[in-house]
Structure 1
Amino acid sequence: MAENQLTEQKLKYSKYVAEIGWGPESRNLTREEVVEKRITPPIIGDGFNLPTATHHIESWIIPEPKAFSAMSPKGGIHKHLDCRPPGMFAEDDETSMLDNSPHYHTYDEVYLFTGTNPYDNLDLGGEVELWLGLGDQAEKFTFTKPTMVHIPAGLVHGPLVFRKVNDSARPISWVVFYDSPVLSNVHVRMLPPDFKQLGEEE
């Protein structure tokens, strides 16, 4: 095939390809701030990046224990380490809750937890805790091996806690597939009664 025909072929399908980067909450951060604050912003791709996309996808690298379960202080649960930069949520906003407090979606979602050990891809490299269900009906799942979780529309999920990361040089990879081009969360103010914040383990 002639070179100009190859060029035309690439242009013809370019609408299906787009560079992706940090999500909107983190785009104003510099790489130096990310390192200094020990923030791990996700790489996000969805309908905002690529109009033809039918899914929202997040790719996280988790190099140290981290929890995604905080509500605002007035919600009764103390604020702790999260990927969001300080000031993203008003401290005095009683309705403000960080992104991975217990919540549900109106579309299906899939979580994929894997390790990054190139010589043992069955090694998760740590311990992940995920709660499924609402309040005192919630069930706790603990993963130490690569795991996939299907979260049907309407199922409350969270807190999500990376309890252990064995080696920061080989972090845990967490990928989120959401069955819609735009992510939306419906938060609930009900933690499982047996849930312990990161650092409160017995």
Structure 2
Amino acid sequence: MGKYDKYFIQYGITTPIIETERRPVIARMDDAVAKGSYFYLVHWMFPFDEKDGFYSGVRRKGDLWKNQYGDLQDIVSSHEMAGHPPHIHKDAELLFHIGTNPDDPMDLGAEVQMYMGPEMEKHVFNKSTVIWIPPNFIHSPWKPLKTTRPWIFIEVNQGPVHTEKSFRQLLPRELREATPWDRMWPDEGYTR
């Protein structure tokens, strides 16, 4: 064991696996893992498997996500604004969308939709992109619309822990009623 081993962090090896995580995580960091660290989440995004309604790679480790929460297909896919609902964070956030095509790194291999602001301004992009989100700025729904090649997503919250407060009231009533909010996207770090 080396003097500086604690600075080499591997998800699921030197840190706990987050059992409710529904994405294939590469790395996850926060103040609890390394004192003074911001919150980071890095995961793969894979092409959607139309056959069984899941993103390939998600049901690894004994179908934990499917078994624990039921058959989580894209329960809100019939609505244009489906995806991670509108919310804010206490700290600034950066969302990195990184293509993996070595011949064209700007080619995301996907088309992603993101809404910004309380007026829900829609943005769609298919190039490697970073989205800057100021503190307490309403953003999302965020949703990959199409993925043709695996790509990497990195979320950076510029604070010691992840915080989130939902603004789902901006969504249509039928969508709000069809989504298990506390299970999928609970408020974190805000008092109700």
Identify whether the pair has TM-score above 0.5, normalized to the shorter chain.
Answer: yes
Partner in structure 2 of residue 139 of structure 1: 121
* Number of aligned residue pairs: 146
1:24 matched to 2:8? The reply is no
Which structure has the highest strand share of the two?
2
What's the offset of the Cα at 1:184?
A: 1.3
> Which amino acid in structure 2 is aligned with residue 25 of structure 1?
E
Cα deviations by residue, 1:36-86 (Å, 9 ceiling, x for unpaired): xxx523341222222x342111112111249xxxxxxxxxxxxx9696924
Q: Retained in 2: the 8 A contact 1:128–1:160?
A: yes
2:65 to 76, 85, 88: 85
> Which amino acid in structure 2 is aligned with residue 20 of structure 1?
Y
SS at match of 1:85: helix
Cα deviations by residue, 1:6-49 (Å, 9 ceiling, x for unpaired): x8xx51x444332224752347xxxxxxxxxxx52334122222
Partners of 1:146 and 1:156 lie apart in 2 by: 22
Moved over 3 A (4+): 13-17, 80-84, 86-89
> Which amino acid in structure 2 is aligned with residue 147 of structure 1?
T
1:58 matched to 2:58? The reply is no
- Across the aligned residues of Structure 1 and Structure 2, the Cα RMSD in angstroms comes to 3.1
User: What does residue range 96-175 of structure 1 map to in structure 2 within 5 Å?
Assistant: 100-134=84-118, 137-166=119-148, 170-175=149-154
1:178 to 116, 138, 157: 157
Q: Between the two proteins, what is the percent identity of the paired residues?
A: 27
Structure 2 gaps of 5+ residues are: 59-63, 71-82, 176-192
Q: Retained in 1: the 8 A contact 2:48–2:54?
A: no
SS at match of 1:190: helix
Partner in structure 1 of residue 78 of structure 2: none
What's the offset of the Cα at 1:88?
A: 5.1
Question: TM-score with structure 1 length normalisation?
Answer: 0.61
Structure 1 gaps of 5+ residues are: 1-6, 28-38, 67-79, 90-98, 197-202
SS at match of 2:152: strand
Say which is worse superposed, 145-154 or 39-48, in terms of deviation.
Answer: 39-48
Partners of 1:110 and 1:143 lie apart in 2 by: 16
Partners of 2:19 and 2:170 lie apart in 1 by: 25
